[in-house]
Amino acid sequence: MPELPEVETTRRGLAPHVEGRTVTGVTLRRPNLRWPIPAEVRELLPGQKIDAIRRRAKYLLLDTQAGSALLHLGMSGSLRVLPATTAVKTHDHVDIVFGTGPHQGNASNSQRVLRFTDPRRFGCLLWQPPGETHELLRDLGPEPLSDALDGDYLFALSRGRKAPVKTFLMDQRVVVGVGNIYAAEALFEAGISPLRAAGKVSRERYALLAAAVKRILAYAIERGGTTLRDFIKPDGEPGYFELELLAYGRGGEPCPRCGRPLKQAAIGQRATVWCGHCQK
């Protein structure tokens, strides 16, 4: 499943090819993805200029004066900007069509589409009216790279919580976008056992954890930037980075710090790897 850095990489890759362009049509090859696609997407989006493409948590928003198209890539979704003549494949469910006109590159006058491909159909395409916040976004916590996330915030919110700190960190109402991979890596860097109750972690250790989350996510986004060209290649999938993981997916292997075998268990039905010696 695309995590926050992959979604941010998608946003950055698409922005130069989408922002400022006018939508001339929307092609829906099915009425629904995870949920029904609202009529506003087809009725209000055509004729609108894309003012910006934003990210909130793992959602992307295409902002226009009439409202915002709200997209989530789900488990298998991808977005690419392609020539309108590109052959449609089985799982190409949505095309947002842009008119011709001045734009970047040698193909500036060719008609392009923003194509949403989603084999498993766990993604979504919804609509947010201007001045409103979609119900999927209302209860989300702060962005992990914002100043709102720090040790004091995590410490205050965690008091009295008996759930494992890894579960706490992955709660989107606490902070958005810290998925399974990044939670495992941040806890390893901070030296905190994922099994420890969230309410039993000290303020000082939460400061280390918040810093680890920020560093790891920022680095992952930076690495993702090397593959932005893939978002306009008709014959290739977006090429997400491969992060050098120290803990996630390495159960039973030697700990990079102490050499002892890394432990593995399921926490909240998610595979979790940690070092029983280095993480307390």
Contact 112, 24 (CB under 8 A): no
Give the C-alpha separation, 275 to 280, whole Å: 9
Task: List the catalytic residue out of 3, 6, 185, 189.
Answer: 3
pLDDT bracket for residue 269 (50, 70, 90): confident
Instruction: Answer yes or no: 270 catalytic.
Output: yes
Q: Quick one: DSSP state of residue 8?
A: H
Contact 231, 14 (CB under 8 A): yes
Give the C-alpha separation, 106 to 127, whole Å: 33
Q: pTM of the predicted model, to two decimals?
A: 0.88
Give the C-alpha separation, 7 to 56, whole Å: 10
What pLDDT is stored for residue 234 in this prediction?
A: 47
Burial 145-169 (b: 16+ CB within 10 A, else e): beeebbbebbbebbeebeebbbbbb
Q: What does 51-74 look like in DSSP terms, one character per residue?
A: -EEEEETTEEEEEETTEEEEEE-T
β-bridge mates for residue 222, sequence order: none
**What sign does the dihedral 21-15-31-132 (CA atoms) show?**
negative
Domain count, the chain: 2
Contact 258, 188 (CB under 8 A): no
Q: What is the CATH number of the domain that holds 99?
A: 3.20.190.10
Instruction: Answer yes or no: 58 catalytic.
Output: yes
98 and 191 together in one domain? no
Task: List the catalytic residue out of 21, 55, 56, 58.
Answer: 58
Q: What is the CATH number of the domain that holds 246?
A: 1.10.8.50
Instruction: Answer yes or no: 138 catalytic.
Output: no
Contact 109, 100 (CB under 8 A): yes
109 and 201 together in one domain? no
10 and 104 together in one domain? yes
Structural domain for 119, as ranges? 4-128
Asked if residue 212 has pLDDT above 70, the reply is: yes
Contact 241, 220 (CB under 8 A): yes
pLDDT in tens, 225-268: 544 445 544 445 555 556 678 999 999 999 999 999 999 999 98
Q: Which two tokens stand for residue 124?
A: 């979504």
pLDDT in tens, 87-133: 999 999 999 999 875 444 444 457 899 999 999 999 999 999 999 99
Q: Is residue 105 part of a domain?
A: yes
Q: Is residue 171 part of a domain?
A: yes
155 and 77 together in one domain? no
Q: Is residue 99 part of a domain?
A: yes
* Secondary structure (3-state) at 1: coil
CB count, 10 Å around CB of 27? 15
Task: List the catalytic residue out of 2, 5, 144, 164.
Answer: 2
Give the C-alpha separation, 105 to 82, whole Å: 13
Task: List the catalytic residue out of 12, 161, 214, 270.
Answer: 270
